[in-house]
Amino acid sequence: MTRETFRTRVLLNKVVAATVAVQIVIVMASLTVPVLASLIAPAIGVPAYLVGYYSGLIYLLAVLSSFATPRLVRRWGGIRLHQFMLVMTAAALLALLPALPAGFVLSGIVLGAAYGPMNPASTVLLARYTPSHLRSRVFSLKQTAVPVGGALAGLATPLVAATLGWRGAIAAIAAICLVLSVVIQPWRDEIDRDEAEAAPRVASAYWLPVRLLVDNAGLRSVTLASFAFGSVQFSFTAVFPTMLAHVGWTTTEAGRAMSIALVVGVAFRGILGTVADKVGSRPVLGAMGVMMAAAAFGAAFVGAAWPGWAVALIAALFGLSAFCWAGIGIAEAVRQVPPHLVAEASAGIIGFTFFGALAGPTLFSAVTGLTGGAAPAFIVLAVLSAAGGVLMLRPMPQPVTAE
């Protein structure tokens, strides 16, 4: 092993540790209000159902701020940007403490602005130090931060709130954000300087990620598939437990069924990422689209008489696809562009995924309202995910840009 190779591996380990830790904390922070809605909403004086608007505000701002990531990364550096995101997240949480409606809205706006650059910024850093033949695996492992952050929000936050109150829980997560921003400071000079020296000058216009999608057929197809997959992922996650409860399952049983998808997703992310590195990202993403379609189609017909193993199979199919595609999709997007445009490619695919997170649940609700039942809406999700899978299975020309 050469000295340069050893140095690259050390820096990769630092980047993975920093980006995974930051993503876990920000995801946990973004779910704190939904998890503690029954405590926070009465204190603020708003109905608990408005928490849905809070989450929607986060994703709306995430769409907008993700497209600004390339300029921010080149101006400040990847690690410094992660530090800013942590400080903004802490500020967003602290804005809730006075329990004012204005603080509630401000919190969602600031947290969304911090959430958007999270994936594109980490992708820039990881792409810099990860060998191309390992990117799907490494990116997939990094994406395990999302379910881990979600699990921590669901398990730890209520326990802290039971001891310290909801304000104490929010203050504790804000403190974790600030401490982590200090912990990664020693790595900033070396990693950000390394990035600045390696990157050529690029005119980082806000609209450049969209222009790149228009001009690059390979990147455009994986981004459209990501929009479809993101729409299905967030819709299915939101409504599947509710649908099970509607057909007679208890809340505990419905939650347990959804946890199967989460566990399967965490367990198989790295494995599927490794497979994608071996056989190619696009066929694996295509297979995931088919599995997502099968899960959504099956969910459309679930009834009270269905055996538990059949529902568990639907949840497992969903976990294998919807909870595992993101890292592989980002790696495929990065493969389509030269190194100096990684920031734009990742900002584009992440921005459209967040847009899917907004559009998918809205589409599901609209179809359910028009038809009077959830089954047609699940079928729409099946068609949408199948379309994303077909996009990935279609033969595409190899990227014309060099790695």
CATH number of the domain at 251, please: 1.20.1250.20
Q: For the chain of 403 residues, list the mean pLDDT of each consecutive stretch of 10.
A: 76 92 95 87 84 86 91 90 97 95 94 94 92 92 88 87 94 97 90 61 68 88 95 87 82 80 89 95 96 95 89 93 94 91 91 91 89 91 96 73 42
Assigned domain for 308 exists: yes
Alpha carbon separation from 105 to 31, 56, 66, 172 (Å, rounded): 15, 11, 20, 21
| Same-domain check for residues 188 and 152 | yes
Residue 293: domain span: 208-393
Assigned domain for 401 exists: no
pTM above 0.75, yes or no: yes
| pLDDT at res. 203 | 55
| pLDDT at res. 104 | 93
Assigned domain for 202 exists: no
| Same-domain check for residues 97 and 20 | yes
Distance of CA 49 to the CA centre of its chain: 23
Instruction: Indicate the number of domains in the chain.
Output: 2
| Same-domain check for residues 228 and 146 | no
Q: Considering 167, 197, 227, which residue would you say is the last residue of a domain?
A: 197
| Same-domain check for residues 214 and 285 | yes
Assigned domain for 402 exists: no
Assigned domain for 34 exists: yes
| Same-domain check for residues 317 and 248 | yes
| Same-domain check for residues 237 and 99 | no
Assigned domain for 101 exists: yes
| Same-domain check for residues 192 and 71 | yes
| pLDDT at res. 400 | 46
| Same-domain check for residues 177 and 119 | yes
Q: Considering 131, 165, 197, which residue would you say is the last residue of a domain?
A: 197
| pLDDT at res. 202 | 55
Assigned domain for 385 exists: yes
| Same-domain check for residues 222 and 317 | yes
| pLDDT at res. 208 | 79
| Same-domain check for residues 181 and 233 | no
| pLDDT at res. 245 | 80
| Same-domain check for residues 124 and 215 | no
| Same-domain check for residues 171 and 300 | no
| pLDDT at res. 403 | 42
